[in-house]
Structure 1
Amino acid sequence: MTITITNIKRVGSDKTESVTIEHGVIKGWNLPEEGQVLDGQGGTVAPALIEPHAHLREPGQTEKEDLASGLAAAAAGGYGTVVSMPNTSPVVDDPAIVRALIEKASGLGFARLKPAAALTRGQQGETLAELGYLKGAGAAMFTDDGRTNENARTLRLGLETAGSLGMIVSVHAEDASLRADGVMNEGPVSEALGLPGNPAAAEAARVARDIEIVAELHAQGRAARLHIQHLSTARALDLVRGAKARGLPVTCEVCPHHLTLTDEALRSFDAIYKVAPPLRTQADADQLLVGLKDGSVDCLATDHAPHTRAEKERDLLDAPSGIAYIELAFPLMYTRFGDALGLEKLVDLFTAAPARVMGWPAPSLDAGAVADLVVLDLATERPVNPAEFKSKAKFTPWAGETLKGWPLLTVVDGKVAYQRS
Structure 2
Amino acid sequence: MNSPTTSEARPLVFTNARLVDPASGREAPGAMLVQNGAIADIAWDEPVRPGPAEAEVVDCGGLVLAPGLVDMRAFVGEPGAEHRETLKTASEAAAAGGVTTVVCMPDTDPVVDEPSIVDFLLRRARDTAIVNIHPAAALTKGLEGREMTEFGLLMEAGAVAFTDGARSVTNAQVMRRALTYARDFGALILHHTEDPDLVGSGVMNEGELATRLGLPGVPREAEIIMLERDLRLVRLTGARYHAAMVSCATSVALIERAKAEGLPVTCGVSINNLTLNETDIGDYRTFLKLSPPLRSEEDRLAVVDALARGVIDVVVSDHNPQDVETKRLPFAEAADGAVGLETMLSAGLRLVHAGHISLAGLFAAMASRPAALLGLPAGRLAVGAPADLILLDPDEPYVLDKANLHSRSKNTPFDEARLEGRVLKTFVAGRKVHDISLAS
TM-score where L is the length of structure 1? 0.95
Equivalent of 1:330 in 327, 340, 345: 345
- How far is 1:8 from its partner? 2.2
Partner of 1:183: 203
Q: Note if 1:368 corresponds to 2:384.
A: yes
Conserved? CA contact 1:18–1:31, under 8 Å: no
Q: Note if 1:320 corresponds to 2:344.
A: no
* Matched residue count: 415
Conserved? CA contact 2:195–2:225, under 8 Å: yes
Partner of 1:26: 39
AA partner of residue 273 (structure 2)? H
Deviates more, 1:141-150 or 1:356-365: 356-365
Deviates more, 1:407-416 or 1:264-273: 264-273
Q: Note if 1:342 corresponds to 2:358.
A: yes
Alignment deviations for residues 11-68 of structure 1 (CA, whole Å, 9 cap, x no partner):
26563x4422221112224232533344434321111111011111211011111100
AA partner of residue 162 (structure 2)? F
Conserved? CA contact 1:109–1:417, under 8 Å: no
Q: Report the 3-state secondary structure (helix = DSSP H, G, I; strand = E; otherwise coil) of the residue aligned with 1:248.
A: coil
Partner of 2:240: 225
Partner of 2:216: 196
**Percent of residue pairs bearing the same amino acid type:** 35
Conserved? CA contact 1:387–1:395, under 8 Å: no
Q: Note if 1:118 corresponds to 2:138.
A: yes
AA partner of residue 342 (structure 1)? S
Conserved? CA contact 1:110–1:418, under 8 Å: no
Partner of 1:95: 115
AA partner of residue 51 (structure 1)? D
Equivalent of 2:234 in 214, 218, 225: 214
Conserved? CA contact 2:69–2:379, under 8 Å: no
Q: Distance in 1 between matches of 2:50 and 2:128?
A: 30
Alpha-carbon distance change, 233 to 13 in structure 1, aligned in 2, over 3 angstroms: closer
Alpha-carbon distance change, 66 to 109 in structure 1, aligned in 2, over 3 angstroms: closer
Partner of 2:272: 257
Partner of 1:221: none
Q: Distance in 2 between matches of 1:414 and 1:153?
A: 46
Deviates more, 1:271-280 or 1:17-26: 17-26
Partner of 1:402: 418
AA partner of residue 321 (structure 2)? P
Partner of 1:4: 13
Alpha-carbon distance change, 267 to 379 in structure 1, aligned in 2, over 3 angstroms: closer
Write out aligned runs for 1:373-392 (5 A): 373-392=389-408
Q: Report the 3-state secondary structure (helix = DSSP H, G, I; strand = E; otherwise coil) of the residue aligned with 1:164.
A: helix
Partner of 2:5: none
Conserved? CA contact 1:183–1:278, under 8 Å: yes
- How far is 1:402 from its partner? 2.4
Q: Distance in 1 between matches of 2:421 and 2:175?
A: 40
Conserved? CA contact 2:321–2:411, under 8 Å: no
Q: Distance in 2 between matches of 1:91 and 1:292?
A: 32
Equivalent of 2:106 in 86, 96, 99: 86
Q: Report the 3-state secondary structure (helix = DSSP H, G, I; strand = E; otherwise coil) of the residue aligned with 2:60.
A: strand
Conserved? CA contact 1:189–1:267, under 8 Å: no
Q: Distance in 1 between matches of 2:373 and 2:161?
A: 11
Conserved? CA contact 1:19–1:31, under 8 Å: no
Alpha-carbon distance change, 38 to 362 in structure 1, aligned in 2, over 3 angstroms: closer
Conserved? CA contact 1:40–1:408, under 8 Å: no
Conserved? CA contact 1:408–1:420, under 8 Å: yes
Alignment deviations for residues 228-259 of structure 1 (CA, whole Å, 9 cap, x no partner):
01211111111111111111111100111102
Alignment deviations for residues 338-364 of structure 1 (CA, whole Å, 9 cap, x no partner):
422011111111111112332434633
Alpha-carbon distance change, 13 to 202 in structure 1, aligned in 2, over 3 angstroms: closer
Q: Distance in 2 between matches of 1:23 and 1:190?
A: 55
Conserved? CA contact 1:382–1:404, under 8 Å: yes
Q: Note if 1:308 corresponds to 2:323.
A: yes
Q: Which runs of 5+ in 1 are unaligned?
A: 219-223
Alpha-carbon distance change, 7 to 108 in structure 1, aligned in 2, over 3 angstroms: farther
Q: Report the 3-state secondary structure (helix = DSSP H, G, I; strand = E; otherwise coil) of the residue aligned with 1:53.
A: strand
- How far is 1:108 from its partner? 3.1
AA partner of residue 400 (structure 2)? V
Deviates more, 1:38-47 or 1:322-331: 38-47
Q: Note if 1:415 corresponds to 2:431.
A: yes
AA partner of residue 228 (structure 1)? A
Alignment deviations for residues 85-125 of structure 1 (CA, whole Å, 9 cap, x no partner):
00111111011111111112123352100100001110000
Q: Note if 1:56 corresponds to 2:76.
A: yes
Conserved? CA contact 2:369–2:379, under 8 Å: no
Partner of 2:88: 68
Partner of 2:250: 235
- How far is 1:183 from its partner? 0.5
Conserved? CA contact 1:178–1:199, under 8 Å: yes
Q: Report the 3-state secondary structure (helix = DSSP H, G, I; strand = E; otherwise coil) of the residue aligned with 1:107.
A: helix
Deviates more, 1:282-291 or 1:391-400: 391-400
Q: Which runs of 5+ in 2 are unaligned?
A: 1-8, 21-25, 43-48
Q: Distance in 2 between matches of 1:145 and 1:111?
A: 21
Conserved? CA contact 1:118–1:143, under 8 Å: yes
What do you get for the CA RMSD once the two structures are aligned?
1.6
TM-score where L is the length of structure 2? 0.91
Partner of 1:135: 155
Alpha-carbon distance change, 252 to 186 in structure 1, aligned in 2, over 3 angstroms: same
Q: Report the 3-state secondary structure (helix = DSSP H, G, I; strand = E; otherwise coil) of the residue aligned with 2:138.
A: coil
AA partner of residue 420 (structure 1)? I
Conserved? CA contact 1:76–1:410, under 8 Å: yes
- How far is 1:145 from its partner? 1.3
Q: Distance in 2 between matches of 1:13 and 1:273?
A: 35
